[in-house]
Amino acid sequence: MANLSTQPYKGARDFYPEDKRVQDYMFGVWRKVVESYGYEEYAAPIIEPTEIYAAKSGEELVNEQTYRFEDRGGRDVTIRPEMTPTVSRMIAGRRQETAYPARWYSIPNLWRYERPQQGRLREHWQLNVDIFGVSTIDAELEMLQIVTDIMAGFGAAQEDYKIHVNSRKLVVAIMAEYLQLDATQSHKVTKLLDKRQKIGEEAFYSEAEQIVNDSETIDRLRTLVEAKSFADLPEGIQDNESIKTIQAMFTYLKDNNINNVKFDVTLMRGLDYYTDIVFEVYDTDPANSRSMLAGGRYDGLVELFGVEPLPVVGFGWGDVTLEAFLRGHDLLSEIESETDLHIIPIGSVLRESQGIAKLLRQEGINVAVDISGRKTDKQIKAALSKSVRYVLFVGDSDLDKERFNLKDLKDETEQELSIPEIIAHFKSA
């Protein structure tokens, strides 16, 4: 029989311990910040009935990009490509019992069938943060403050990234009143604007002409796309209520020292369920051009599950784009192992070494005992390759005098210590 491949499934990742350490670090900062705002973690099955995506996630996603199959009982199911329909299903299931504002977060694994490319794999993990039951912009503002605190938690400066903000309500008004498009054209132009960055200016206008076929409308579209600030917008639009909302948000954010927000009338978001404010965050380094996180208000989604509407604002932040951002800005240094100490028994002292390990574990120190029986230098190499900082040598004479050599593999220093001194060393570290 031919050998099986050791590679993971195409477009998906194995996390060896050194990779998992990086992921755990990223998840740890995410968790710490969102929990500091009172968000509670939830989770749900990775398989959902396909119908929950059919309604609002957009046709392309459901028909071309999902892991969709029939289970052994004939049910049409999908491995979740995004978390929003799931969290909407859950909150709808407890629409009455839930205490609002409900602040929920999750870090689900999500799958999309796509050609794997830079910054975009078939699976990723995504921080999902949602606040339910708040209809004022306090909800959006809290989201953007969380984003800012997470970025600061990773050591990023505000110059390293930019928050783009727009409003779906404004987009609807622009499409109908300023561009005078019908519903079908409006939907197409929205989708086209959404992929503008990806396809480039030329393809954008050429596709736009196919949709509207009217040079005055194309000129108006050009005015929009080229608007850099509120002042560049055509008159009628400037008075729109949504513009005032966004301006109020910007004032509050500036008061809270958040200065990297930008109004972007071309920001659309690919998903169909957004109803008002939408936002995305971009790396300011053009080498990492994909949006890192995206979110907005989607007040209508729970209604699909037969309950009363509920105001909701949320965002999703993927681990692949985050890691690219952190590496690009040199914010990921080597992360030490969770293992504090690697004990190297010299001679037939395995049982005694395990006894020492037991004592140290009781003090909260994470200790691996090398039970490979290999040579000492190989055992030191093993500790090094696992990024464990300290090794402790245990031999017969050490046991006799009850003092042991503790070697710091990072600083390359060594000291002879008693067990209580070893415990004190790690407790103070």
- Between 146 and 268, whose beta carbon lies closer to a second copy? 146
Query: What token pair was written down for 187?
Result: 């939907």
- Between 7 and 333, whose beta carbon lies closer to a second copy? 7
How many of the chain's residues bind a second copy (CB under 8 A)?
A: 98
The answer to whether 47 contacts a second copy (rule: CB under 8 A) is: yes
> Which H or E run contains 99?
none
Interatomic CA distance for residues 297 and 309, integer angstroms: 13
The answer to whether 227 contacts a second copy (rule: CB under 8 A) is: no
**Whole-number minimum distance, CB 1 to a second copy, in Å?**
8
Quick one: which of 26, 29, 62, 77 contacts a second copy (CB under 8 A)?
77
- Between 114 and 232, whose beta carbon lies closer to a second copy? 114
Could you say which residues in the range 231-270 bind a second copy, by CB under 8 A? none
Interatomic CA distance for residues 13 and 24, integer angstroms: 15
Interatomic CA distance for residues 368 and 391, integer angstroms: 9
Q: Among 187, 185, 237, which residue's Cα sits nearest to residue 213?
A: 185
The answer to whether 336 contacts a second copy (rule: CB under 8 A) is: no
- Asked whether 379 and 344 are in contact (CB, 8 A), the reply is yes
Q: Give the count of beta carbons closer than 10 Å to the beta carbon of residue 400.
A: 8
Q: Give the orientation angle of helix 17-36 with respect to helix 319-328, to 10 degrees.
A: 100
- Between 62 and 170, whose beta carbon lies closer to a second copy? 62
Interatomic CA distance for residues 302 and 389, integer angstroms: 50
- Between 205 and 252, whose beta carbon lies closer to a second copy? 252
In one-letter notation, the amino acid at residue 9 is: Y
Quick one: which of 6, 229, 333, 413 contacts a second copy (CB under 8 A)?
6
The answer to whether 309 contacts a second copy (rule: CB under 8 A) is: no
The answer to whether 61 contacts a second copy (rule: CB under 8 A) is: no
The answer to whether 140 contacts a second copy (rule: CB under 8 A) is: no
Give residue 133's region: left, alpha or beta (phi > 0; psi -120 to 50).
Answer: left
- Between 225 and 350, whose beta carbon lies closer to a second copy? 350
**Whole-number minimum distance, CB 391 to a second copy, in Å?**
12
**Whole-number minimum distance, CB 157 to a second copy, in Å?**
18
Could you say which residues in the range 343-372 bind a second copy, by CB under 8 A? 350, 357, 361, 364-372
Quick one: which of 179, 293, 344, 388 contacts a second copy (CB under 8 A)?
388
Quick one: which of 60, 76, 138, 226 contacts a second copy (CB under 8 A)?
138
Q: How many CA atoms lie within 13 A of 6 on its CB side?
A: 1
Interatomic CA distance for residues 427 and 423, integer angstroms: 6
